[in-house]
Amino acid sequence: MFDSIIIILLIIALIIILLFRFPQKKSESLLDEAIKKQEENLLSLNNDIQAFKEPIGRLRNFLSGSTSAGSFGEWNLKSILEDVFSKDQYQENVEIIPNSGKYVEFAIVLQDGLLMPIDAKFPSGIYDKYLNAAEKLDKKLIDESKKEIIRHIKKEAKSISSKYLLEGVTTDYAILYLPSESLFQLVMNLDIKESILKEDRIFILGPNSLAAYIISIQMGFRTLTLNKRTSEIIKEFGIFKKEFENFSNSTEELRKKASAMIKVIDEHETREKQMSRSVERMEKFKNDNE
């Protein structure tokens, strides 16, 4: 009889241990997964940081003068974009206004999905006229050429503004790209960029300034990626912390249940001893009567 009671108590204890062991294993598994995910996120963040260093170094070299002046001017617009952006970060020959039949040469795809139109313009005939006048030191012809260049640039700026800017699709401004650094410097000296930016929402950029500008955009992309990755790591750390707390709580709860179970076993052991003594007395009483 008493052996049966002990066996039943042991079975009950085993069941309790098993019931609490499985949740603990589940907590351990979740904790291991959280640790592994944190390690993967930190490794990915380190890779993003290494990738972020490249455009910073290139921009530093350019601004410090280690890149020869005018070297960017040897590139065409597509070459500059290809050198800085991946293929999914810009589009070629984009129809901004649906069914307009007007296509901007290139558009940078920003993080929010908006397009930044870029159109190249090079009034070679007018510029050649200016260069010839400058070579001959013909002041009158130089002034006339400058006025013609101003009219041409203003006309092209208005054209770009009307054809390639669309609210909700593009940025609030577009870029007029002059593929000659010397032409760009001439236009900058004509003091028309402020009025064109204000009236037509057009930035005028040359090879060097465009290269620096789009490298800064690329750095902005990398910064957003790093911020996003950091946010993900913080979020995962919160999950990791919660799983660890659950694991700790589960361990503490198991300890309490085990203590309670041991206490119950001790109580049953005490009762068993009392019952054993009672049976012994009954056996002795029986023997005495016989």
User: Residue 67: pLDDT band by 50, 70, 90 thresholds?
Assistant: very low
Nearest-angstrom CA–CA distance, 102 and 164:
8
Q: Is the Cβ–Cβ distance between 100 and 160 less than 8 Å? A: no
- pLDDT tens digits for range 164-215: 999 999 989 999 999 888 888 899 998 898 999 999 999 999 888 888 888 8
- pLDDT tens digits for range 230-286: 455 455 555 655 665 565 555 566 566 666 666 666 666 676 666 666 656 666 655
Within the chain, where are the H helices? 2-64, 77-84, 124-136, 139-164, 181-189, 193-200, 207-289
Which of 12-26, 30-44, 150-164, 224-238 has the least mean pLDDT? 12-26
Query: Residue with structure tokens 């598994």?
Result: 29
- For residue 283 the two structure tokens come to 């056996």
**Structure-model confidence comparison of residues 22 and 85, the more confident one:** 85
User: Residue 35: pLDDT band by 50, 70, 90 thresholds?
Assistant: low
Nearest-angstrom CA–CA distance, 36 and 266:
43
Nearest-angstrom CA–CA distance, 232 and 92:
33
What is the pLDDT averaged over residues 149-165? 94
- pLDDT tens digits for range 105-147: 999 988 778 899 999 988 878 888 888 888 888 889 989 999 9
Domain boundaries, the chain: 2-56+234-289, 71-228
- For residue 187 the two structure tokens come to 């236009």
Nearest C-alpha neighbor of 157 from the set 190, 111, 125, 108: 190
What is the pLDDT averaged over residues 3-14? 49
User: Residue 48: pLDDT band by 50, 70, 90 thresholds?
Assistant: low
Supply the pLDDT for residue 253.
62
Nearest-angstrom CA–CA distance, 287 and 290:
5
- Which SS3 state, helix, strand or coil, does residue 241 take? helix
pLDDT at 159 over 80: yes
261 Cβ contact partners less than 8 Å away, ≥ 6 residues apart = 13, 16, 17
User: What does the buried/exposed string (b/e) look like for 71-96 if buried means 16 or more CB atoms within 10 Å of the residue's CB?
Assistant: ebbebebeebbeebbeeebbbeebeb
Supply the pLDDT for residue 153.
94
- Which SS3 state, helix, strand or coil, does residue 205 take? strand
Out of 15-24, 93-102, 116-125, 214-223, give the one with best mean pLDDT.
93-102
- For residue 118 the two structure tokens come to 């870029």
Phi, psi for 99 (deg, rounded to 5): 65, 20
104 Cβ contact partners less than 8 Å away, ≥ 6 residues apart = 93, 94, 96, 117, 118, 119, 160, 163, 164, 174
